[in-house]
Amino acid sequence: LVPKKANLKEQFEKAESKSVTTLMLRNVPNAYDRETLMEELDHLGFAGCFNFLYLPIDSATKNNVGYAFVNFNDEKTADDCMNNMSGYFFKGQPYNRRRAAIVSVAHLQGLEANLEHYSRTQVFFAPLPCQRPWVAPAAAQALLEKGEAAAWAPLGFAKLVEDAAVRPGTEQDDQSFSRRRMREQWW
């Protein structure tokens, strides 16, 4: 849910820093949940290299909408991901519906910019933590300790981040349970 009045492209072009750490991954298989995408990124060698991931979920179908935003810890890792995943075929795609991944630079760059943006949307308050953006616990804690989140963070921000930071699958919910069985067939 992006606010209709937000012109993210314009904000990106006006930004002082042009360092690229946040990427948009397209053609993510619709059956993937957040955990599955994170596992595939881990499997590709990016375990511990990203501190933010948001995979939008369609509230009607409970499937993702085919793209995700990932913020990496540094520019080099983001560049490595862009090179390794451009044209990549996700493991969970049926052979007859395979589409190559498309990786591009996201309009919002950096952990704080992404959190500030999504904290003003309904998705940040989704009922299931697996439908919210994932934030690495250490990165969220560092932001909170420095007080950088104080200007824009909504009431209860620390608890929301803590809930969403739980690595998917460590706490069971109905949505991830059925997908886990499907995923076991793919790997």
pLDDT at res. 46: 96
Termini Cα distance of the chain? 31
Cα–Cα distance measured from residue 187 to residue 92, given in angstroms and rounded to the nearest whole number: 8
HEC sequence for the chain: CCCCCCCHHHHHHHCCCCCCCEEEEECCCCCCCHHHHHHHHHHHHHCCCEEEEECCECCCCCCECCEEEEEECCHHHHHHHHHHHCCCCCCCCCHHHCCCCEEEECCCCCHHHHHHHHCCCHHHHCCCHHHCCEECHHHHHHHHHHCCCCCCCCCCHHHHHHHHHCCCCCCCCHHHHHHHHHHHHHC
The pLDDT value given to residue 127 = 77
Q: Which has more confidence, 17 or 82?
A: 82
Among 2-11, 12-21, 85-94, 109-118, which is the least confidently predicted range?
Answer: 2-11
pLDDT in tens, 47-88: 999 999 999 998 888 899 999 999 999 999 999 999 999 999
Distance CA 149, CA 134 (A): 16
pLDDT score recorded for residue 163: 65
Read off the pLDDT of each residue in 3-27 and give the average, rounded to a whole number. Answer: 66
- Residue 9: pLDDT band by 50, 70, 90 thresholds? very low
Q: Evaluate the CA torsion angle 71, 75, 81, 83 in order and state its sign.
A: positive
Q: In what order do the strands lie in the sheet with 50-54?
A: 102-105, 22-26, 67-72, 50-54, 134-135
| Inter-residue contact 33 to 63 (CB < 8 Å) | no
Q: Which range among 22-26, 101-105, 153-157 shows the weakest confidence by mean pLDDT? A: 153-157
- Segment 155-167 shows an average pLDDT of 63
Which pLDDT belongs to residue 12?
Answer: 45
pLDDT tens-place string over residues 95-150: 767 889 999 999 999 988 998 888 778 877 777 777 888 888 888 778 777 766 65
Amino acid 172: pLDDT: 46
pLDDT at 154: 61
